[in-house]
Structure 1
Amino acid sequence: MPTVVHHDCTRLVPLFGGLSQAAKDEIDALTQERHLTKGEQIARPGDGERLVVVAHGLLKTYQLTTGGNEQLLNITKPGGYIGEQALLGAPNPNAYTEALAASTVCFIDRSDFTQLLLSHPELSVALLTATAKKIQQAEQQTGYLADESVPDRIHAYLDDLRTESGCPTVTIPFAWKELANYLGTTPETMSRQLKAMVQAGEIERQGKTITFVD
């Protein structure tokens, strides 16, 4: 029998965590691994349909506005994935995905992944659960952008980050420029607002690490 190459994706990604070792071996046999440099694209309009899973690094997915500017859609951290919309027949024809840092990803073509879903119903349940969480995050971003006040958007994002972490010290998971884009503002406005929060005694800041002062 050929030797199965084990990929980090099947070992580290929660989506596959509940599967048996035999099922993980089956996924490994269908998986291709790729190492990305910062700024390298992994998905663009017109690409083939596939699931892309992040083992290490960070990916950003965005679309271009009519003015040619990037509109950030989401950030994918280790353990996350993109491409499920295309696999389920609803691709975003305008989306691009690129590495925010040196990253390791794995990808599985649609036909292979469809067979995995049919042969492993527990994977289907895991995919639905994880996708529901992604939809919740997208709705959360929409909620941020619904606030007319940029300070309110920043406060809401930081409060949610604190709630998610469960502690008063949080670290912004990506660059300030990306966060500003995500919240629909500019890095300069972001910097001014954070400085105002420090001066008001609401937070302490060291680089991208923020501590809330109660």
Structure 2
Amino acid sequence: MVKIEGDFKAVAESGSQDGETIALFNGRDLEGWHIYLKDSNADPKNVWKIQDGEIWCTGNPTGFLRTKEEYSDFKLVLEWRWPEKPGNSGVLLHMGGEGKIWPLCMEAQLMHKRAGDFVGMGYTFNENKAKKGGFISYTPHMSDPSEKELGGWNNYEITCKGDTIEATINGQLQNKATGVNISKGYIGLQSEGVPIMFRNIKLTPLK
């Protein structure tokens, strides 16, 4: 496994006090993020790249970006798109535990036509449709898919407040989980098979 670290310097849009939006991605480099890859021989710079103010991920090998800082009670907004073909990825919330490829987290899915699904890895929530007591918890998105056509930029708005998580895609509420048993952790972006791009990753602390 490869791990690359950088000092976290969030870019404040209007100061740095709680309640003010910060840019988790500065548009220039991956300062403030760790890179984890399953293949220890892979060059991280060939997997995660910055071009024209956007994060390009090749999707291979499997792994993720992860913030250095932990967060709770926030609204996370980001954009993503599939530049070549639709595939699988996810936004990892409340990440914890060891730096494993499949970490403890709540995943807000980005998989094509399943964006908005919630997958709890080691976490539980009231709306779980998976087998009780298992490692994986799951609930599907609640509305028809609201993703753009291939190549279009999608907007993800994820609100984490207390034990509740809501996910909205392109203005359409797609999921809500309550009773989530963990409410704080790192934020991650997955590398999982096909190229994906991210931009405008911003977080607003909620009071």
Alignment TM class, shorter chain as reference: under 0.3
Which structure carries more helix by proportion?
A: 1
**Larger RCO, structures 1/2 (Cα 8 Å, 6+ apart):** 2
TM-score, with length taken from structure 2:
0.22
Structure having the larger proportion of residues in strand: 2
Larger C-alpha radius of gyration, 1 or 2?
1
